[in-house]
Amino acid sequence: MKSKKYSENLLSLFKKQGFKVKNFENIIESKIIIERSGEIFKKSLLSFEDDEGKSFSLRPDLTISACLDYIKNIKRGIYKYTYFDQAYRRTFSKESLVRNQLGCEIIGSNSKISDIKIINLIDSSLRKVTKRKTTIKINDLNIFYALVDSLKLPARWKLRLKRHFWRPDYFNELLLRLETDSDLKNNVFELDKKSYLKMKRLKKNSKVAGRKISEILKRFEKKIKEPRSKINGKEISRILKEYLKINCSLKNARKTLKNFEFKNKLDLKLNNIEVLNLNLKNLNSMFSSNIGRNAEYYSGFVFEIYTKEKNINLASGGRYDDLMQILGAKRKIPAIGGAINYDNLLKI
């Protein structure tokens, strides 16, 4: 059977590199995700309550399961996980709620050698079992964050763009608002100020649209205190759109980004971006500024692997150095991992 052959061969290749096969619990406490993770994961949970009213969820992602296992059982040092199992996630589309996920994680290492090991291992293993050529796409989310920090925008707008980078449709709505100067013009600001003064007369614990008056006032106060300046929303939107279209060979990425940086008078802090110097075995490697938007726990380096001929996504992954602490670890624990899109693998 094709499915069994692929999974056995891939797990065998990962085990030869020191990764340990792990089986994770199917069910996790909902509060672990709800209290600590982003909106996308919260909305995707398949949850239920036990007889005592305690909420549980089917595991939405095996990377999260690996993190929870490390926090509970491993606790310190470097541990290399590999797994093949199912994750369950609400999709709001015709896609199946069940996702077959085969992947590997290195938890506890911040070494760039681990980055190279993960991506080279997954890519070479895919090429070996499929007998197909692949293309690797690389990105570092810190370049986008540096770009946003370089823009002449109020702090709340910078935070908004970073926070919603993971939601492409809503992010595009934000760009449209920038283009129309909505929320930036002085007349809109004055209307907001009038609303603020009116709300100050209301009870602080009362709610409007599900939000406490005190929370809304706090947001208004931050907005009012920010200096109003001439902001060219159309130009800022153009810069962001231009950046998100960058797609070039990895060897030319630094030059391409430098040209973009110079043209738009930005500071992308490229000297701090080590992924531009990654020594990958696969020469079909690209820099693509628009990847890594499928999981909001990524913190920097991200990658995706495609079949070269049909451009089918076979794998994705990246660094998630903040996720362990978000999920309850008492200290920051660096981690890198990648998962094979097993359902797509069976289609080729």
Q: pLDDT at position 116, please? A: 95
* Per-residue confidence (pLDDT) for residue 52, from 0 to 100: 84
Look up tokens 């309850």; give the residue: 328
Ranking 32-36, 129-133, 185-189, 204-208 by mean pLDDT, the lowest is 185-189
- Min mean pLDDT across 9-18, 45-54, 156-165, 336-345 is at 45-54
pLDDT band at 185 (very low <50, low <70, confident <90, very high): low
For residues 168-183, average pLDDT:
88
pTM (two decimals): 0.83
Q: Which of 139, 140, 65, 136 lies closest to 101, judged by CA?
A: 65
Taking only the tens place, the pLDDT of each residue in 73-111 is 999 999 999 999 998 888 776 777 888 999 999 999 999
Band the pLDDT of 207: cuts 50, 70, 90.
low
Q: Residue 94's pLDDT is what?
A: 72
Query: φ and ψ at 115, to 5 degrees?
Result: -60, -50
Which helix (H) or strand (E) element contains residue 158? Answer: helix 155-163
Q: What percent of the chain has pLDDT over 90?
A: 61
Return the SS3 of 315.
strand
Residue 223: band (very low, low, confident or very high) from pLDDT cuts 50, 70, 90: low
Whether 212 has a pLDDT exceeding 70, the answer reads no
Q: Tell me the per-residue pLDDT of 117-158, one tens digit each, with 9 for 90 and over.
A: 999 999 999 999 999 999 999 999 999 999 999 999 999 999
Maximum CA pair distance of the chain? Answer: 70
**What is the pLDDT at residue 29?**
87
Comparing C-alpha atoms, which of 30, 24, 25 is closest to residue 43?
30
